[in-house]
Copies of this chain bind each other. A is one copy, B any other.
């Protein structure tokens, strides 16, 4: 679906435009360049610009915008930095984009409690920079330097999730503006609570469709005493995956455990000027005391060797590790460079780990039989992997073939008890898959959407099909 096809596309009422401009001055714009910038994400979907972009500076200003949009029955699209992958921020039904980037204050860091509260627009790197001298860090790291509210909204994860969990496990509470303009706080700062329905978890992963997140309270972790990273090459993807499965099953508290196939390594070598051997590879990291890290590393090395792993390279220095993980995080843009001028369509399935080797092997058969080039990499410790399918977005055959592959991969994952998306979310790109995965539970999601946002103000056409 693209914007031109959308039957519900409605223009924003001029009266609303005028009112917002009068109220927000230079923090409101209908500039085509800025609208275009806010009408795209990292997906290959065609650009769908909003009618205008507004930059609130406080929760109270956000309330004001929500109330004005409600009065004009106009769609509101929350926007972080635009790095989502399923069209989450595309204005497929028009409307006002609320860019949260000017709400970028770190409101509190409670070192003794290992938590912090930030405004919606603070990015993960900004937070970690701020925390550098506290001895704490925030582990969740999608490849992009996304905003923390955006990460909460998409239930993001990344390379550390195998040890530290996803945004689901690491958001303690949220401040949310509801469709009626009410401000709610979904949680306090205690580590656990059994007080009422878990609204925090309901908003985490709701992709801006149930309310607007303006503040996020997060768990932090002590920087580990020792950190060690390693790369290891394998004779096959299967051997690498088997190493991961045994590691998880043994209960080794590995902090990161990433698979990159030979094509991804090639892309990463080109992009990040590394000289890694072009073969399936694991990037691992261990956190703990010096003794514990050494012990974990030894265990994984033993398992890897039994699977034919070789060329173990250790990175114990901070700079080496930073370079290695930056290269891993850049795998997606690195793959994009394999097809100059092209785009990448990314799959995102996650399966029970016992099925992971089979799922990847079957997927690789699809890869080999396809005319398109695809790189495979992912967070295999969680059972989550991606195919970055290189396409020319103007070539209908490429689009059709990438969709065909995506359908096959998702159907395979669902048949194995997995999910159509481990961390990217539904946006509007995966609405059909959500139905396939959740069946009647989707009606429950629709009922919740209807009850909390009856006008369908928030991010229309995403996550749930609800006409408002």
Contact = CB atoms under 8 A, between A and B. Distances in A.
Nearest to A382: B191
B199 A445 contact: yes
A251 B422 CA distance: 28
B251 A199 contact: no
A56 interface: no
Interface in A421-436: 421-426, 430, 433-434
Interface of A is mostly: loop
A143 B420 CA distance: 38
Contacts of A123: none
A165 B443 CA distance: 30
A154 interface: yes
Contact of A201 (B161, B198, B353): B198
A443 B182 contact: yes
A419 B182 contact: no
Interface in A299-355: 348, 350-354
A210 B444 CA distance: 11
Given A352-B110, A423-B194, A199 B418 contact: no
B421 A194 contact: yes
A451 B445 contact: no
Given A112-B245, A202-B201, A253-B253, A195 B448 contact: no
Given A192-B382, A196-B442, 14 more contacts: A110-B354, A115-B352, A155-B198, A168-B198, A184-B444, A185-B441, A194-B425, A195-B433, A196-B438, A196-B441, A197-B464, A292-B292, A447-B452, A451-B451
